[in-house]
């Protein structure tokens, strides 16, 4: 990529985890020099060897593409001294009351501040981790100013610009965002970040410039709105299951054409999970309580979502006779990742194990993580086909593409019950099983 006047040519990415490593690789592949920083020397060494430090779609390929412009270090202060923009992508763990801890962000801000102190050039520090409203302009700004001896908005820039990405598609989502939030300390900082994204992104996203608090609230608002939409579709699915002739796909396909509603995330299935959605609803509730306001919709969405696993377990128990073997296909929270945070497959497994069910499980990537939380309770299968052949009832909890490549003859031995949460099973599967699509009214078998 040719150099563009005014566009930052060297950035630092602090935190080389599941979001930071893909971002660093994507930016370097787009022509910008990147210094990755992490306290974990193993991740640093892998980046410097041209290897992917975490599992993520296309990450190894993008590291190869940008290798001449990508290096890593454990020295955060030195990286700050070199970079024109410093992105902080470190964990912000949930707190008991529902908010987010910024202790890791503040720990990073101390050496960043010292790095800022050593340089004359105007540098923009960008917080990309999800934080509670008031954090960027409060404790984060104070920490940077204390350790740099400089003033944000005058001698260095400070922005809040979180990413809207999903594990398994981090690089694509980062390079092709629907829009970008830019909470800024001053217009100059916003313009620098604007130029960076306009150069790096493959599309031309709308960039919303605003103050810190509005940007921080907007991040929570997006995720709580999306989860509300998912939960609404799941409500329709539950109603359709009980309504003669009901089919949630027919309903959502129709209402999704209304531009006030839209079709994205309107798929009646099972609950949402992952490292972001569940906790952001809790954070919105915590924020509202701290302001003596109400966020009943976000709190109700969270409660309803947590009840989805009970609904699914009840469906399994309706179709599984005593002593039947139940197989679960999918333990990650979504396809193309090994992450199991709040995974519906894991929650279902726990629910069924607690009920004394004989359980078999399989996932293409999440088996090691599943063993940590499920222990020796279930039988761990080596493939989807093995799980299917040994089960009396099979639940497709995650729509991994691999599952739907299983040959039809896997169902030939006996007529099993197939509970398909996503209604994606091939026609051949449906004809050879007692097919139970979630969200569709299925007449009870006779006899």
Q: What is the pLDDT of residues 401-437, one digit of tens each?
A: 999 999 998 887 778 999 999 999 999 999 999 999 9
* Residues 327, 393 contacting (CB under 8 angstroms): yes
Give me the pLDDT at residue 4, please.
40
Give me the pLDDT at residue 277, please.
93
Same domain, 397 and 433: yes
pLDDT band at 328 (very low <50, low <70, confident <90, very high): very high
Is residue 193 one of the residues assigned to a domain? yes
Is residue 219 one of the residues assigned to a domain? yes
SS3 266: coil
Is residue 204 one of the residues assigned to a domain? yes
Same domain, 178 and 113: yes
Quick: pLDDT tens for 64-86.
Answer: 999 999 999 999 999 999 999 99
Same domain, 78 and 112: yes
Same domain, 294 and 219: yes
Give me the pLDDT at residue 446, please.
61
Report the chain's mean pLDDT, rounded to a whole number: 95
Q: How many domains does the chain have?
A: 2
Q: Is the pLDDT of residue 5 over 70?
A: no
Give me the pLDDT at residue 7, please.
73
Give me the pLDDT at residue 303, please.
96
> From CA 378, how far away is CA 391, in angstroms rounded?
12
Last residue of a domain, one of 157, 177, 210: 210
Give me the pLDDT at residue 413, please.
72
**Tokens read off for 125:** 């520090």
Give me the pLDDT at residue 6, please.
67
Last residue of a domain, one of 210, 242, 271: 210
Give me the pLDDT at residue 411, please.
86
Give me the pLDDT at residue 167, please.
93
pTM of the model: 0.92
Is residue 5 one of the residues assigned to a domain? no
Q: Is the pLDDT of residue 445 over 70?
A: no
Q: How far apart are the first and last CA of the chain?
A: 69
Same domain, 156 and 284: no
- The mean per-residue pLDDT over the stretch 284-296 comes to 95
Give me the pLDDT at residue 1, please.
35
Last residue of a domain, one of 210, 230, 255: 210
CATH number of the domain at 373, please.
3.40.50.720
- The mean per-residue pLDDT over the stretch 159-185 comes to 96
- Domain holding 103, by residue range, is 10-210
Same domain, 205 and 332: no
| C-alpha angle 41-113-161 in degrees, rounded to nearest 5 | 80
Percent of the chain with pLDDT over 90: 94
Quick: pLDDT tens for 97-146.
Answer: 899 999 999 999 999 999 999 999 999 999 999 999 999 999 999 999 99
Residue 390, judged by CB atoms within 10 A of its CB (0-12, 13-18, 19+), counts as middle
> From CA 330, how far away is CA 403, in angstroms rounded?
9
Same domain, 180 and 220: no
Quick: pLDDT tens for 360-385.
Answer: 999 999 999 999 999 999 999 999 99
Half-sphere exposure of 168 (CA within 13 A, CB side): 18
* Residues 36, 66 contacting (CB under 8 angstroms): no
Is residue 234 one of the residues assigned to a domain? yes
Q: Which residues of 259-295 are buried (b: 16+ CB within 10 A; e: fewer)?
A: eeeeeebbbbbbbbbbbbbbbbbbbbbbbbeeeeeeb
């Amino acid at each position: 990529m040719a150099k563009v006047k005014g566009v930052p040519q060297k950035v630092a990415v602090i935190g080389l985890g599941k979001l930071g490593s893909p971002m660093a690789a994507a930016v370097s592949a787009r022509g910008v020099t990147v210094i990755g920083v992490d306290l974990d020397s193993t991740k640093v060494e892998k980046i410097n060897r041209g290897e992917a430090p975490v599992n993520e779609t296309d990450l190894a390929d993008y590291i190869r593409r940008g290798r001449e412009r990508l290096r890593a270090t454990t020295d955060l202060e030195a990286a700050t001294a070199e970079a024109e923009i410093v992105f902080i992508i470190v964990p912000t763990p949930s707190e008991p009351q529902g908010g987010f801890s910024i202790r890791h962000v503040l720990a990073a801000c101390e050496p960043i501040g010292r790095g800022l102190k050593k340089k004359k050039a105007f540098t923009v520090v960008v917080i990309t981790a999800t934080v509670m409203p008031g954090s960027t302009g409060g404790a984060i700004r104070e920490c940077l100013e204390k350790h740099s001896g400089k003033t944000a908005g005058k001698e260095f820039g400070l922005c809040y610009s979180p990413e809207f990405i999903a594990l398994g598609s981090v690089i694509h989502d980062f390079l092709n965002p629907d829009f970008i939030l830019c909470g800024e300390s001053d217009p100059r900082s916003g313009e620098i970040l604007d130029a960076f994204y306009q150069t790096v992104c493959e599309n031309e996203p709308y960039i919303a410039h605003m103050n810190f608090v509005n940007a921080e609230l907007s991040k929570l608002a997006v995720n709580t709105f999306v989860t509300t939409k998912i939960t609404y579709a799941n409500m329709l699915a539950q109603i359709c299951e009980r309504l003669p002739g009901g089919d949630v796909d027919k309903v959502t396909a129709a209402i999704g054409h209304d531009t006030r509603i839209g079709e994205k995330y309107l798929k009646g299935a099972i609950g949402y999970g992952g490292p972001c959605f569940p906790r952001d609803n809790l954070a919105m509730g915590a924020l509202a309580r701290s302001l003596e306001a109400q966020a009943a919709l976000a709190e109700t969405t969270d409660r309803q979502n947590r009840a989805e696993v009970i609904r699914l377990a009840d469906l399994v128990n309706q179709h599984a006779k005593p002593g039947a073997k139940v197989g679960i296909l999918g333990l990650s929270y979504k396809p193309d990742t090994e992450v199991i945070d709040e995974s519906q497959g894991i929650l279902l497994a726990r629910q069924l194990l607690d009920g004394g069910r004989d359980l078999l499980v399989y996932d293409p990537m999440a088996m090691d993580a599943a063993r940590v939380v499920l222990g020796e309770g279930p039988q761990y299968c080596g493939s989807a086909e093995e799980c299917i052949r040994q089960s009396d009832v099979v639940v497709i909890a995650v729509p991994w593409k691999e599952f739907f490549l299983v040959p039809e003859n896997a169902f030939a031995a006996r007529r099993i019950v197939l509970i398909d949460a996503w209604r994606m099973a091939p026609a051949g599967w449906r004809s050879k099983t007692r097919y139970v699509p979630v969200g569709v009214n299925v007449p009870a078998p006779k006899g």
